[in-house]
Every structure is written in C-alpha cells, then in structure tokens.
Amino acid sequence: ETGVTQSPTHLIKTRGQQVTLRCSSQSGHNTVSWYQQALGQGPQFIFQYYREEENGRGNFPPRFSGLQFPNYSSELNVNALELDDSALYLCASSSDVAGGHTDTQYFGPGTRLTVL
C-alpha cells in the first residue's frame, strides 16, 4: 500500500506567476483535501475533492482552484501568485465509509512554495 505522495518537493516562483501542485492519493482513497500551512501556523483547509467533484471549500479566493482525476489523484492550481501564498501545501487523502462519513485522512509530505 503506497502512501500519499506530492510533487514537487520545493518550488520557487515570482509574484504574478501560476503554479500547479500535484498529489497522488493513497491506494483505495477517493477523497483528497488540500491545506495551506504558513510558517508557524497550523494547516488551513483550502478545498476538498470527492470522486472528481469539489466537496467543500475554505476561505480562499477563486485563484485557488483544483482538479481531481479518475484515478483520484489531484492538482492544486494557484494563479496570480502573491507573496503571502508562500507556504507548505499539504494534501491529504481518505475514503468514504458506511454512514456517509469519511475515515481518517492521511497526509503527504507537502510541497514548499516560495513566492519572491
């Protein structure tokens, strides 16, 4: 059973650019959530994808967008990068269980994005 993987590990961009971060969910998981963790802070929920559909969104502007593929891997896209977007971006996967709730989510190692 493979865990959650993310790519790239590190990324440096300049203000105004666009970036795409990738996440491969754990085998058997159909739900992917993305979190932003600024330095010294706890992770903040960006959005979640369930079976290729967005299933909830946190307090992030529309320039943060996502996608989930048929194999349940996912992408996070950020347009018009700002300095405050510098953070560790974490992906977590989980699977739905009987009763409608999701089981524990497992986190990947994250992508460190630096915006200059």
Partner 1 sequence: AQSVTQPDIHITVSEGASLELRCNYSYGATPYLFWYVQSPGQGLQLLLKYFSGDTLVQGIKGFEAEFKRSQSSFNLRKPSVHWSDAAEYFCAVGPANTDKLIFGTGTRLQVFP
Shortest spacing between CB 15 and partner 1, in angstroms = 25
Is the Cα dihedral 9, 49, 95, 30 positive or negative?
Answer: negative
105 binds partner 1 (CB under 8 A): yes
CA distance 108 to 110: 6
Stretch that binds partner 1, among 12-20, 63-71, 77-85, 92-100 (CB under 8 A): 92-100
CA distance 115 to 58: 21
* E strand or H helix that includes residue 55: strand 53-57
43 binds partner 1 (CB under 8 A): yes
Binding site for partner 1 (CB under 8 A): 4, 31, 33, 35, 40-45, 48, 55-56, 58, 90, 92, 94, 99-102, 104-110
